[in-house]
Structure 1
Amino acid sequence: MVRVPLTAEERRRGERLGALLRSARGGRSMVDVAARAGLSPETLRKIETGRAPTPSFFTIAAVAAALDISLDQLVVACGQDPSVSAPAW
Structure 2
Amino acid sequence: RGDLEATYDANIDKVYNATLKSMGELELTPTQKQKDALTALVVARTSADKKVTIKLTRVGESLTKITIRIGVFGDEVLSRAIFERIKGNL
TM-score by length of 2: 0.33
| Higher helix fraction (1 or 2) | 1
Rg bigger for which structure? Answer: 1
TM-score by length of 1: 0.34
| Higher strand fraction (1 or 2) | 2
